[in-house]
Amino acid sequence: MQTNNRRPIVAGNWKMNGNLALIKQVEELFSDADISHVDVVVCPPFPYLGGFNDSNFALGGQNISHYESGAHTGETAVSMLKEMNCQYVILGHSERRADNNESNELVADKVELALAHKLIPLFCIGEPEDIRESGQLFDFIAAQIDAVINKVGIAAFNDIVIAYEPIWAIGTGKTASPEQAQEVHAFIRQHLAKQDSNIANQCVILYGGSVKGSNAVELFSQPDVDGGLIGGASLNPEDFLSICLAAKR
């Protein structure tokens, strides 16, 4: 029987929110918190990455360009995130896929670039409500995963964190039930296992979609849910800390 030594991760995606005052509040609250059981990541808007001091959590970017550098106004190079001490980067978030027409193939290109620069991708996948209702959920999820496997190979998933976020639950107040989340997380792990069962067993898979302090314990208690990618609740330091504390195995 395979053993599971996956370390939980809780990442806060501030999206286009936050300010310097919030940075100070988060740093002050977390400075005295015992979060030794979980890896905590904060992903603020790009201008605020430089506002953090030495913290007991990691920093992540919310996106990178698929270009390394050059005349691409408004874009952010992966090397810039590295220089700002980022360890992680969110890639393939549904809002990027929708607002910026990011295809599975483009997301895979970005994952490849992040890995080449030793950034850990928080690789987002998830389905809209109509896909779930049509019965195409697992095919949809598999296509998102396979685009990355085809680009970087299954071994790269040793260094990739998957974040499953059902699009219908992001910012809507709706949350997948713990059973629904576990069903999809188990499918993701089984899909990876078709290529390599050991990598599948060790791959960290996060859940995202209206996670709150009140539902985090039950969600994180599912056997294939290894933490969360947190949106709105990450903007409230107390709520975010309570979610991080809920990630104890």
What pLDDT digit, counting tens, does each position of 195-216 carry?
A: 999 999 999 999 998 899 999 9
Is residue 246 a part of any domain in this protein?
no
**pLDDT per residue over 34-49, tens digit each?**
999 999 999 999 999 9
Residue ranges at the known binding site: 13-15, 171, 210, 231-232
CATH number at 128 reads 3.20.20.70
Residues belonging to the active site: 93, 165
- Asked, for residue 249, whether it belongs to a domain, the answer is no
The whole domain housing 187 covers 9-241
In a domain, 19, yes or no: yes
Instruction: Please report the pLDDT score of residue 225 as a whole number.
Output: 97
Q: Left if phi > 0, otherwise alpha if psi is -120 to 50, otherwise beta: which for 118?
A: left
Alpha helix (H) residue ranges in 36-92? 78-83
Domain count across the chain: 1
- The reply to whether 125 falls in a domain is yes
- Separation of alpha carbons 124 and 146, rounded Å: 13
pLDDT attached to residue 249: 58
Cα dihedral 169→172→178→183 (10° resolution): -10
Within a domain: 73:
yes
Q: What share of the chain is helix, strand, coil (3-state, %, to 5)?
A: 45, 15, 40
Extract the annotated binding site for substrate. 13-15, 171, 210, 231-232
Kindly state whether residue 2 falls inside one of the protein's structural domains.
no
pLDDT of the residue at 248: 77
